[in-house]
Amino acid sequence: MLSIKRVPTVVSNYQGDLEESDETTRRRRGCGRNCFNKCCIQGAKLPLYAYKKRNERAREKVVLGNKNRETSIAFLDLLLGKWEDRMQRGLFRYDVTACETKVIPGKYGFIAQLNEGRHLKKRLTEFLIDKVLQPFDGNKFNFTKVGQEEVLFQFEASEDGEQYCSLSAPVDIKNSPSVVAINVSPIEYGHVLLIPCILECLPQRIDHKSFLIALHMAAEAGNPYFRVGYNSLGAFATINHLHFQAYYLALPFPIEKAPTRKMESLGSGVNVSQLLDYPVRGLVFEGGNSLECLSNTVSNACICLQDNNIPYNVLIADCGKRVFVFAQCYAEKQALGKVSPELLETQVNPAVWEISGHMVLKRKKDYEEASEKNAWRLLAEVSLSEERYQEVNALIFEAISCCNNVNGVLSQNLLNKSGIKHSLEEVDAINQSSHPAMVTGMSECLVLQ
């Protein structure tokens, strides 16, 4: 079994406290930590942002519920205001706004940040990387164990079709709310976690419902500098409890400036393109007859990758209008000893933000010597080979084509336009290939994040 011993990123102030109280005590007065689990959440109230489901979204402000309907607030104002409140209350492990940041000279303008606060000295924990899908384990840290003070607000679709925000709304335990919480080890201003249906304790895996919630979050922000990201297991997700990350950075990401080549327009109105002249091979999804059409297409692609045990990262950009999907293999290379010691010494694990061009560096030496060449060299190790990329694309196009075809027939035209020359028999062979998405065996290495 392929595994990595790693020092996990701390996302909550309660992450190291995994001791549970006596069951009787928890039933009577909770665990004593005012956590977000059922032992403490009874009767709790939190702000609620309710978004309106619609195809065409305007950058509107919403009206506060209850007695404050004359006051208006935008989603991003609510999020950043609550985030700053938590910063003033000292809930973060360090002040991310004091971290040095610079744009690296070059064609793409990679962004380098020196964030020594994320270099942690915690006990080693075993982290398996050869399985993208793993069952939820309630004994390990999960987001029901965060303190309620770390949760900013609930994020739900409006039941009456009206967009609104209530500053104090009961937590509906039976319906398991989606929530937005702080990441106590932020990598940028406004760094938060979106945790869909938190009390359902879903493992880290994308489904149609959860991804649509993430797209709505990006759309509600209405600002291209607010992006939402996702890391699968095996692609540097550190917690096996379904979550997305998001933050605000007023700079264009290099990935957003990379050229693309259109591959196909689906019947749902979604356009699929591939990245060109970028160190990590990937696909770009955009357009669609509705937000849900785009969400379903990307979800189908992600579910395909998960089901085929292929680690991947996702970036939601341009207010939810563009989605980048990258299959990657860096963690596998680490475990097999195929990454150079020089790159390993940087302690950078390239997840969605690094792949997008925001390089979070943990050593001053690397920050001072940051260059486009160095960034490119690191990210090139993340990318699948051209051959493997074509194999994976065949799987993805089969999945999204079948879901966009009324009769469920694979569109050979779609595969041809993508430059993939596999027949249907070859696609089936790839699915059943002896070449696994991740190599099995026993190999361990120390990975710091």
Distance CA 232, CA 132 (A): 7
Residues 6+ apart with CB under 8 A from 391: 422, 430, 433
Amino acid at site 186: P
For the four alpha carbons of 204, 208, 213 and 216, in that order, the dihedral sign comes to positive
Strands 226-231 and 72-73: unpaired
Residues 6+ apart with CB under 8 A from 82: 47, 152, 153
For tokens 């506060």, the residue is: 64
Distance CA 306, CA 448 (A): 25
For the four alpha carbons of 131, 132, 135 and 137, in that order, the dihedral sign comes to positive
Catalytic residue among 243, 358, 422, 435: 243
Active site residue 243: yes
Residue environment code for 225-242, b if the CB has 16+ CB neighbours within 10 A, otherwise e: bbbbbbbbbbbbbbbbbb
The helix/strand/coil state of 444 is: coil
Torsion angles phi and psi, residue 316, rounded to 5: -100, 115
Distance CA 114, CA 403 (A): 43
For tokens 């209405």, the residue is: 222
Distance CA 276, CA 323 (A): 15
Cα–Cα distances in angstroms (integers) from residue 131 to residues 192, 240, 437, in the given order: 26, 11, 9
Catalytic center residues: 243
